[in-house]
Amino acid sequence: MTKTFSPRSAVWLLASGFLAWAALSISDAADTRKHTPTTDRPTDIATALRAMGPHTSLGDESKALGSVVGAWDVEYADFLKDGTVTHRSGEFIVGWVLDGRAVQDLWIVDPSGAGKDREVYTTVYYFEPKSRAWHATFVDPESASVLSFTGGAAGSDRFVLETQDTNSKTTRWSFNDIRPDSFVWRDEQSSDGGKTWRLKSEYHMKRRGGPHPRSDLGAGLSGRWLLL
């Protein structure tokens, strides 16, 4: 006995077949996402750490350190207690890291003598909303020393951090006269609670490649970051 199909039945069968195919395709896609190999994710720490700008939660707080994001050529001047001055050169690299919730810098001091290694240091900065202060942790791996600072912006072109040691001496690190293509970094120490300061170091920074096009957002960062 021959069975005939009406045009309506044929359309229904085609629609049912398409829906079944679509369901299988979605299921396969979901299963593929579920089993996506981790090799598709960044495998080097520099790429995984780097952020292309500050996290939105920072708001205007991102502007202070954001203005020094980038790569800088440095002229180091260290003032010793005997009155002599040591001059060296190097570089200073700054960028947003950890999904834009922190800033990290890398200090590099070029070798100053035959056979001498370069010096490298790093600092991580993060903002604490409760205290409305920036915190910074500086690490010197060669000397196995760590310093912790607190502070923040002091006007539109200055950023200041301070810490106190066990001898009641206050150390102040500051970014001064911040401009698109230059700024001055200073290391000062006070033994009288901040009434007077002795200048220990003054570093003049010149932005590599000219003024940064979006220095407040940290676009176009280098990928050379370290993690504490």
Domain ranges of the chain: 7-36, 45-207
Say how many C-beta atoms besides its own lie within 10 A of residue 70's C-beta: 26
Write the Ramachandran bin of 77: left for phi over 0, alpha for psi from -120 to 50, otherwise beta. beta
Rounded percentage of the chain residues whose pLDDT exceeds 70:
74
Kindly state the average pLDDT of the residues 95-115: 93
Q: What is the pTM of this model?
A: 0.75
Kindly state the average pLDDT of the residues 43-61: 93
Kindly state the average pLDDT of the residues 55-63: 94
45-207: CATH topology: Lipocalin (2.40.128)
